[in-house]
Amino acid sequence: MKRSLFILLLLFASLHADMFSKGNIGAGIIIGAASIEVNNETKNYTLLGANIDYFAIDNLAVGIGYTQWLSNSPDISQLTIPLTYFFSLDDTFRPYMGAFYRHTFMGKPYNDYNSYGARAGVAAEISKNAYIGAGLVQEYYDDCSNFKECSSTYSEVIVVFVF
Render pLDDT for 108-160 as a digit per residue (tens, 0 to 9). Answer: 888 899 999 999 999 999 998 999 999 999 999 998 776 778 999 999 999 99
Whether 96 and 88 have beta carbons less than 8 Å apart is answered as: no
Q: For the chain, what is the total number of helices (H) and then of strands (E)?
A: 1, 8
Give the range of the structural domain holding residue 146, as residue numbers without chain letter. Answer: 2-162
Confidence (pLDDT) at 144: 77
* Residue 101 φ/ψ, nearest 5 degrees: -120, 140
Gyration radius of the chain's alpha carbons: 19
Whether 98 and 85 have beta carbons less than 8 Å apart is answered as: yes
- Paired with 100 in beta bridges are 82, 117
Confidence (pLDDT) at 18: 86
**pLDDT mean over 100-106:** 96
Confidence (pLDDT) at 26: 96
Model pTM score = 0.84
Q: Alpha helix locations (H) across the chain? A: 2-15
Buried b (16+ CB within 10 A) or exposed e, 28-42: bebeeeeebeeeeee
Residue 50 has pLDDT above 50, yes or no: yes
Domain of 66, CATH number, reads 2.40.160.20
Number of folded domains that form the chain? 1
